[in-house]
Structure 1
Amino acid sequence: MAVQQNKVSKMRVRIRRAANRYAGVQPTNCTNCQAPCLPHRVCLKCGMYGGKQVTTPKTDKKA
């Protein structure tokens, strides 16, 4: 098992870890309707995924 030669300060550790921070899920545009949607998910507006109709799109019914 490796043993450190010198103490690594909190600042040095935090600077190193800051480079690997999580950016979060970046939304993309649907290739069919250009609506923002999450990657590798069915578009909620048009119901398309991978160029195929997977679900029927949800419509807003106003009473």
Structure 2
Amino acid sequence: MAVPKSKVTRMKRGFRRSADALKQSVYVEDKDSGELRRPHHIDLKTGMYRGRQILEQKD
């Protein structure tokens, strides 16, 4: 008969169950380029973030 080797604490059980609550990533359409990007992230195509040029533009 299968018997657990040790008790799983409430904290460890909660850590395991919290992965079930993860949601799919959210993407927003960039105002300038129209590309999809993550909120609060740099637009990798144009290299812009909050109206400023952060990275060099990809070709």
The number of equivalent residue pairs is 41
Cα distance in 2 for partners of 1:22, 1:57 equals: 33
Alignment root-mean-square deviation, CA: 1.8
The structure carrying a bigger helix percent of its residues is 2
Find out whether 1:37 has 2:13 as its counterpart: no
Kindly report which structure 2 residues correspond to 1:1-63, keeping only aligned pairs within 5 A, or say none.
Answer: 21-59=21-59
Cα distance in 2 for partners of 1:30, 1:54 equals: 15
1:2-58 deviation digits (Å, cap 9, x = unpaired): xxxxxxxxxxxxxxxxxxx33222111112111111111100111111111111122
Cα distance in 2 for partners of 1:54, 1:35 equals: 17
User: Unmatched 5+ residue regions in structure 2?
Assistant: 1-20
Deviation above 4 Å: which 4+ runs of structure 1?
Answer: none
Which structure would you say has the larger Rg? Answer: 1
TM-score by length of 2: 0.55
Are the equivalent residues in 2 in contact too, given 1:32–1:48 (CA < 8 A)? Answer: no
